[in-house]
Structure 1
Amino acid sequence: MRLLKPLMSTLLAFASASVFAANGETAVVFVNGMNNTFDDAIASMQVLKQRVSARGAGKGYVYGNAYNATNGFFSDLYQVFKQKGQEGEKVSGFWQMVDGGNVTPGWMSTALRDKYVATLSKEVTPELPEHLKFYRQHLSANRKLVLVPHSQGNLYANISQNILIGESAAQAPNVFAVGVASPAARTMPNSTYVTSSADAVIGALRIIKSVLPSNISQGFHPFKDFLGHSFTKIYMDSSMPAELAIVREIDRRSAAPVLR
């Protein structure tokens, strides 16, 4: 049930507490998509860590998960559509910071921020308070925060970035996202995404909702993942172009880039 989701997020924050003992300058946080178990999210983060390291990047990184629990495919899908509704013009007050890629950091008052967090966590993102707490711990440790959301995780990440940048001009230069298989209609300032043209899940959503265009071609690989949407089997496959593109974008936003 959805009531379990904040609890799971809290448990994950405790499980990941050891990262704060590290001296890293960049925090890379994986934000999972729909229908992912806790173990699925942890496994994806570990694959991401391995791929970053294999490419020669990742020195001084610390890793973590901002977990959003699953309540089954159809329940999660319903939540995606509710989250997509937050991107529409009727809620432009929350998205006023996004204007053709420009933003005025710190525009959100404390009272307005608390109102948005309370409303969004009640209606569409129950884990939002715990996610924000987790992110602020990294920012308070003077780390750059690079979110790597997959699928539905992009909708969570956009909302979190909006809050973090909107509430503090000081945090704005240190908050980024490198989205993977994004169902979102927009990215936050200084962030990017990688979506395969063969991703059937995002392609189907694009038919009925506003979604960012595909920006990488990987071909059809039915024996790996018929839908072309899997984070580990498709986007993190080192034999495909998306993996290097994602790692490079993470590295570019880190405290000490090394890749060319």
Structure 2
Amino acid sequence: MSQSQNLIEASTDRGVTTLALDSPATRNALSAPLVAELADALSACGKDPAVRAVVLTHTGSTFSAGADLKAPPGPYAFVDLLRQIVELPKPVVGVVEGHARAGGLGLLGACDIVVASDAADFALTEVRIGVAPAVISLTLLPKLDQRAAARYYLTGERFGAAQARAMGLVTAPAADLDGILDGLRGASPQGLRASKRLVTARVLEAFERDAEELVQLSASLFASAEAREGMTAFLERRDPAWRL
């Protein structure tokens, strides 16, 4: 497996392949090229019998700032990436050491296990630019506490690692990572595949039932006048017109 790619940094240690989003200049925004490279790297991991598990992490201070507003992936490409993580026949462990926003939380929702340092923080910021966390609801809503989801979907507030654990986004503190990986290294490949199918079944039901409707909702919101104002305001670093 290649040790470096343009936007994904890959390394392997004792059967665990680490894929790091490696575009710190854009805060690892989910551009079309980054999504495509990550999909290719995951596919290689899924086919490699030497890979027992995958760690998905980041370089720089941001796990992901969400969709790249200048070069976004197509909505179907992003849905396919989320589903690929959920269906990968190897467990995927998300590791967050910094900021995670919007679509970045969708990636974490697709992971089987997520650990976060005390310095990590999170926000579902879509509502602040005139859209909604539509597509990423496929991986988030089956896992999140519903009261917490309502609060952070509707307000766009930031929250820390402790709240992320309480609401179901994060599994454990970063200090638990070595023990988690040791457990995965001791598990049989067949056992991991079968166990992952059990714990992801409900998420995959959401893909079958809701994916097309959520893609269409996302597309209609991003094409709206409010979203154009919201994205323009974000890029110009000013308040949108609706700010009270």
Length-normalised TM-score, structure 1: 0.30
Query: What TM-score do you get using the length of structure 2 for normalisation?
Result: 0.31
More strand per residue:
2
